[in-house]
Homo-oligomer: A and B are copies of this chain.
Amino acid sequence: MLIHSASQLLTLAGGPQRGRSLGRLGLIPDGAVLIQGETILDAGPSEVLKQRYPHEPGLDASGKVLMPGLVDPHTHLVWAGDRAAEFELRLEGKSYLEILAAGGGILSTVRATRQAEPADLLAQTRRRAAAMFRHGTTTAEAKTGYGLDVEAELRLLDALLRLDAEGPLEIAPTFLPAHAIPPEYPGDGEGYTRLVVEAMLPALPAWWRSHAPGRPLPFVDVFCETGAFSLEQSRRILETARAAGLPLKIHADEFDNLGGASLAASLGAVSADHLVKTSPADIQALAASDTVAVALPCTPFGLAEPAYTPAQAILDAGGLLALASDLNPGTAWCESMQFVIALACRTLRLTPAQAIAAATINAAAAIRRDRAIGSIETGKQADLILLGVSDYRHLGYRFGTNLVTQVIKKGICYDVD
């Protein structure tokens, strides 16, 4: 299939974009892309490709932007229930403790997720995956983390594998047993860390080989934060995971700086995420590494907090910056990477071009998929989106609605609307 006559084709070709090089769109006016099966075979000016492939069936993209599918490299996709009541209590000025007393907080989601019927959990999660896809996300990372015991965490990982198998949204799973301290270990992060290190992580590779044979191992993530896991606990968890050959991620510096970003860089983690309270020294450490800095602007927005990721400092230092939604029931129930882009323009001061690169090729790097997805280049997976606008800058400029008209996943075209 030859998708042709796009007002603008954005290829994002050339690999992940470091520091101030962020924002190279590879823009081709009146562009075309040839796909065959699940793969991109060619991309370039429509005139050239129409001559080169005169007998290829066409898809007219006149008046539209054609670009890589959006990649969302940080989501907590799989949970049951909601925390809408907690949101209202917070607006009414209730304290964290009052919210906990009213049954709110992360452990309320753990309770609901543990208790959910598997089919119901899957159905609730599927609705979110469908919303993400409809808004142009073709691949998303998705974490466990609302199970918090061996059986429940592996059940969530299994749900993610099932949803991935269903498609069309492709899922890169992450194992996050160290998301919170479960009710069975009240005030005992140390005891739960031992369970993670001594039982949960050791069980993972064998479980994975039997449930997802041949697939690359999942990421292991940890919430390094006051009230969650200390730097030292985080280090033990991540070092144990690394010793088992598992690729690493970390939640760092969301509310307090415990040193998680520098830890991620020193351990060769694939990404360090949140990075709100990150220091200049941490930023230097990240920039000197291949660890991708993942900004999650929906989280401060969702909480109405004033501080956002110091994205400009990360770019100045030469870091690799990506964007993600942080989709979760506590702070950021937002399935739309288009909204993440609009928010990043305003709160991180990214241009639309920078935000788009951070949400495609750099987001793919944040899940180690940049050789397969995140750009339109020969040999890559045919994951593309069409926007119903003729100028890419409408992404960012406009907000609160969905500009995507078609999503092409592994070569199959889905109409949106």
Q: Interface residues, chain A, CB within 8 Å of chain B? A: 82-85, 87-88, 91-92, 131, 135, 298, 301-302, 304, 333-336, 338-340, 345-347, 349-353, 391, 393-394, 396-402, 417
Contacts and interface: CB of A to CB of B under 8 A. Distances in A.
A162 to B, nearest CB: 23
Contacts of A397: 82-84, 87-88, 333
A393 B352 contact: no
Nearest to A398: B333
B402 A304 contact: no
B88 A352 contact: yes
Given A92-B351, A402-B402, A87 B396 contact: yes
Query: Which 9 A/B pairs are nearest by Cβ-Cβ distance?
Result: A339-B400, A84-B393, A304-B346, A336-B400, A87-B397, A334-B400, A333-B398, A84-B397, A91-B351
Contact of A401 (B135, B349, B394): B135
Contacts of A352: 84, 87-88, 91
A58 B87 CA distance: 34
A193 B131 CA distance: 49
A82 B397 CA distance: 10
Nearest to A332: B399
Contacts of A84: 352, 391, 393-394, 397
B401 A131 contact: yes
Contacts of A336: 400-401
A135 B349 CA distance: 28
B399 A91 contact: no
Contacts of A351: 88, 91-92
Given A85-B393, A393-B84, A350 B91 contact: yes
Nearest to A388: B127
Nearest to A355: B91
A92 B349 CA distance: 8
A88 B392 CA distance: 11
A22 B338 CA distance: 32
B399 A302 contact: yes
Nearest to A128: B401
A322 B112 CA distance: 36
A47 B270 CA distance: 56
A91 B345 contact: yes
A340 B349 CA distance: 22
Contacts of A400: 135, 298, 334-336, 338-340, 399-400
A353 B336 CA distance: 24
Most B CB within 10 A of own CB, among A82, A92, A298: A82
Contacts of A401: 131, 135, 334-336, 339, 402
B334 A304 contact: no
A339 B131 contact: no
A292 to B, nearest CB: 22
Given A85-B393, A391-B84, A393-B84, A399 B334 contact: yes
A336 B84 CA distance: 20
B85 A301 contact: no
A88 B399 contact: no
A169 to B, nearest CB: 15
Nearest to A352: B88
Nearest to A417: B417
Contacts of A304: 345-347, 349
Contact of A349 (B91, B335, B350, B417): B91
A300 to B, nearest CB: 10
A25 to B, nearest CB: 12
Contacts of A347: 304
Nearest to A89: B351
Contacts of A350: 91
A351 B88 CA distance: 6
